[in-house]
Amino acid sequence: MQVTHELMNEHQLILKYLDLMERYVEFSQTNDNKDLFLQKAQDFISFVQIFTDTYHHAKEEDVLFKYLQAPGVLSHCNPLPVMLSDHEQGRVYTQNMKDALANNDLKTLCDNACAYSQTLKQHIFKEDNILYPMAESGISDDDKIALENEYRQIEEKMDKQAIWNEYEEQYSELESCLD
């Protein structure tokens, strides 16, 4: 039984958004339409705050991480403090992006978007390759069933299908603006 497969799917959409955001930063530095990223930044911030930090991080912080802390699951080392501090650092960069957008400050917006992207990409690599394999091998089958039920509650509360549809559609729109 796998309890990290869906989280890894979510990582794939997050990574697509990070790559696209980096393309917007590059575009704003090399093209005449320098304000395009300022115009579209709210869409990226919305994805970061709703899909990544509310939906995905709730499943990690409120569910998966809780089961990883059960006795005997993390026998060699505990990466959870680092994972939580990465999430926190991401929130700081996101707030900086919001402030920069409110001030029409493209340079600060770009700097924090790049810092956010780098932090999250490294974080996702650590989860996909270290933390999630630990979860798959360490969490008991009984706990995995209970864990899945807790995921389902979050997915129902936030309407999984609606949130995926909304942000996949938004991705296509954002991508088409760069063509």
In the complex, which residues of this chain contact Fe ion (CB under 5 A)? Answer: 60, 127
Structural tokens at position 65? 């991480």
Residue 138 and residue 72 in contact, taking contact as beta carbons nearer than 8 Å:
yes
Q: Provide, rounded to whole angstroms, the least separation between the CB of residue 8 and Fe ion.
A: 8
d(C-alpha 59, C-alpha 63), whole Å:
5
Q: Provide, rounded to whole angstroms, the least separation between the CB of residue 123 and Fe ion.
A: 6
Q: Which is nearer to Fe ion, 43 or 60 (CB)?
A: 60
Q: Which is nearer to Fe ion, 109 or 120 (CB)?
A: 120
Q: Which is nearer to Fe ion, 37 or 51 (CB)?
A: 51
Structural tokens at position 79? 């990466």
Residue 74 and residue 138 in contact, taking contact as beta carbons nearer than 8 Å:
yes
d(C-alpha 101, C-alpha 37), whole Å:
10
Q: Which is nearer to Fe ion, 6 or 166 (CB)?
A: 6
Q: Provide, rounded to whole angstroms, the least separation between the CB of residue 111 and Fe ion.
A: 22
Q: Which is nearer to Fe ion, 43 or 127 (CB)?
A: 127
Residue 13's Cβ-count burial label (10 Å; 0-12, 13-18, 19+) is middle
Q: Provide, rounded to whole angstroms, the least separation between the CB of residue 128 and Fe ion.
A: 8
Q: Provide, rounded to whole angstroms, the least separation between the CB of residue 14 and Fe ion.
A: 7
Residue 1 and residue 155 in contact, taking contact as beta carbons nearer than 8 Å:
no
